[in-house]
Amino acid sequence: MSLRIELGESPAVVERLLDAAAEPIERVAQAVRARAIDLAVIAARGTSDHAAVYAQYILGARNGMVVAPATPSLSSLYDAPPHLARALVLGISQSGRSPDVVSVLADARRQGALTVAVTNEPDSELAGAAEFVIELGAGPELAVAATKTYIAEVGVVAMLSAALSGDAESAKQLRAAPAAMRAALDQESRVKRLAASRARIEECVVLARGFQYATAREWALKLKELTRVLADPYSGADFQHGPIALVEPGFPVLAVASAGPALAGMLELLGRLRDRGGEILTVSDDATILAMGDGVPLPLMPEWLSPLAAIIPAQLFAYHLAVAKGLDPDAPPNLTKVTRTL
């Protein structure tokens, strides 16, 4: 039950984060402004890499930054780090112990870059390599698969965007996010029924666009980790460039869509997939999207913050699907809590 308990702690984790991380995040924002930095490079692996995908969208759309994923092997294997001196370099890691992510921050700091570690372990190697440390403060996470720490990472990125913008309305919207997250948790009984009805699936695609693309990627990862379902995540745009050929009658399609610029395209795509006989399950705050198949409603909230709530029914679905398949979601095979890669 560790995973389910930890998942349920997520709203309280974000509430604490809004207070505890406000000062260090503001210091980072001040340093970004003082150096006129407009480029961010993010080093992360696994679940944390999906928080980095969220950062690509939010720091780009709301703060006008160019955001790129780091290529850790350039530092850890090839000893050929790129020039990062004029960048904000973020290392995102629950454990802070993956050598390749640490190496990116260490190289960047030697070059004089603004380096920031986002981690649940303030005494970790990653924290030691960075100029600034933002602690997730999620408390111990015993389940192998990350839930509350992923949401905390997304929360930190959202707080950084708000701090960079200096917008009072953004801060107010952030304060309302934990209540929306609790409303998403209230959908558990519906999610459990939908997961039980899909206990025999072995493959699926997970679709989204825009801010929710990170949610689709993390949902797919949780399905692979916990349920052994071959879940392939796609941008709704990329999916139409070939992979759409996969969808035939009965093929499982999972989708996340929130009100905003990406909604119309997702609606058109899901309509096409329904016409092809796809078995559609959606997580959305839009009634038309929800009517495309089985739907899990989300509370209406600003699009830039919607991934904080949208991932919760996705995590719940993966958890209950694992249980329905007779698997132990707390101890998936061949996985360890801390993965060290070079």
| Strand, helix or coil for residue 85 | coil
Q: Please state the three-class secondary structure of 113-159 as a single string.
A: CEEEEEECCCCCHHHHHCCEEEECCCCCCCCCCCCHHHHHHHHHHHH
Q: Which residue among the candidates 222, 224, 325, 337 is catalytic per the annotation?
A: 337
Both ends of the chain: CA-CA distance in Å? 32
Spatial neighbors of 248 by CB under 8 A, at least 6 apart, are: 276, 277, 278
Question: What are the φ/ψ torsions at residue 133 (nearest 5 degrees)?
Answer: -125, 130
Residue written as token pair 């309280």: 12
Residue 186 has a CB neighbour count (10 Å cut-off) of 12
Q: How far apart are CA 213 and CA 281, in angstroms?
A: 16
Q: Is 192 a catalytic residue?
A: no
Catalytic residues: 337
